Structure 1
Amino acid sequence: MQRLTISLDDELADAFDELIRQRGYANRSEAVRDLLRRELGERDLGTGAAKHCVAVLSYVFDHHERQLSSRLTDMQHDHHDLAIATMHAHISHEDCVETVILRGATEQIKAFAQGVIAETGVRHGQVQLIPIEEAMPAAQKWRRR
């Protein structure tokens, strides 16, 4: 492990300490490590260096939209290698919310998420990508050992 020393003006240091307190970090070092991991992950996702990821896709849709529920389910079945879990909840008479956990090749996950969000009747959608080193399912890792 390497030790780094940085200098911050008082105002920035105070704001950082407040962020640490609000987020519940044990110390400055863990907060800095977390910020760096997040920034490097976002950089890798933006440049295409992150070949694999896990993702959370959440969207609100009109369940009265003709065949939309069926189309969304079909999309997940067509990408069963990416979609590993789904949660569905009713939020009003018209609207449902679904959250899909995805794992696989980053570009495939992005394309799948954009396809879902672009469906007629999907009112809001957002995907959060988290880079990982490989896309191998946990069950396969255990068998490999």
Structure 2
Amino acid sequence: MQRITITLTDEIAEELDLFMAQSGAGNRSEAIRDLVRRALATRPDAPPEAPCLAVMSCTVDQSVRNLGARLAQRRLDTHDRTVAALSVPLDHTTSLEIEVTRGTLGTLTRAAEAQFLERGVAHGALALIPVGHDGPRHSHTHPHGAHGHEHGHEHSHTVVQTSFRPGPPDAS
């Protein structure tokens, strides 16, 4: 075993003590070991290059110096992965940030973990959705409004998979 030292906010320490009482852990070390073990067990068993969608949410304390600017710049730097982003003001200083992104499991997980480690970011959650593609890129034509002529666009279809294990696309 290795001994480590951590610093917790008073609120997290109180929550940890409550978890200890409810779980039967004999001390904080046992409780933290259990929580870490559970968190590690929830990580998907998939290669980092597996394609996925991610829904990341967290609260952001906008009063933390330059935090809002850093997070906005991070989003701009990765604009090609962003599908949608929403910022919901909760009170005078706190917002709920929600992002839907696409990419590889490794890239999206690292990005979320980096954001969750920022001072002023709390309640981070990441949902990962395994995806594949239904065939190669192709094009369609469709009418263009009242202009009376057609325009085409090229795309591929994203298909949600049931797991990160390789296999044929789901028929659902």
| TM-score bracket for the superposition, by shorter chain length | 0.5 to 0.7
Aligned match of 2:101: 102
**Shift >6 Å, 4+ stretches:** none
1:24-67 deviation digits (Å, cap 9, x = unpaired) = xxxxxxxxxxxxxxxxxxx9932328710001000101010111
Q: Which has the higher contact order (CA 8 A, sep 6+)?
A: 1
The answer for unaligned runs of 5 or more in structure 1 is 1-42, 135-139
TM-score, length-normalised on structure 1?
A: 0.61
1:87-131 deviation digits (Å, cap 9, x = unpaired) = 001111221001000101111011111111111110221110000
Q: Percent identity?
A: 27
Aligned match of 1:39: none
SS for the counterpart of 1:47 is: coil
Change (3 A) 1:122 1:132: same
TM-score, length-normalised on structure 2?
A: 0.52
Tell me by how many angstroms 1:141 deviates: 5.3
Counterpart mapping for 1:1-145 below 5 A: 45-48=44-47, 51-134=50-133, 142=139, 143=154
- 2: CA distance, partners of 1:49 / 1:75: 21
- 1: CA distance, partners of 2:43 / 2:89: 35
Which of the two has greater helix per residue?
1
Change (3 A) 1:106 1:141: farther
Matched residue pairs, number?
100
Aligned match of 2:15: none
Instruction: Indicate if the aligned counterparts of 1:81 and 1:104 stay in contact, CA closer than 8 A.
Output: no
Instruction: Indicate if the aligned counterparts of 1:57 and 1:128 stay in contact, CA closer than 8 A.
Output: yes
- 2: CA distance, partners of 1:121 / 1:132: 32
Instruction: Indicate if the aligned counterparts of 2:57 and 2:125 stay in contact, CA closer than 8 A.
Output: yes
Alignment RMSD: 2.7
- 1: CA distance, partners of 2:54 / 2:113: 13
Tell me by how many angstroms 1:79 deviates: 1.3
Instruction: Indicate if the aligned counterparts of 2:48 and 2:104 stay in contact, CA closer than 8 A.
Output: no
Looking at CA atoms only, which structure, 1 or 2, has the larger radius of gyration?
Answer: 2
- 1: CA distance, partners of 2:121 / 2:54: 18
SS for the counterpart of 2:59 is: strand
Instruction: Indicate if the aligned counterparts of 1:88 and 1:96 stay in contact, CA closer than 8 A.
Output: yes
Letter in structure 2 aligned against 1:103: R
- 1: CA distance, partners of 2:82 / 2:54: 9
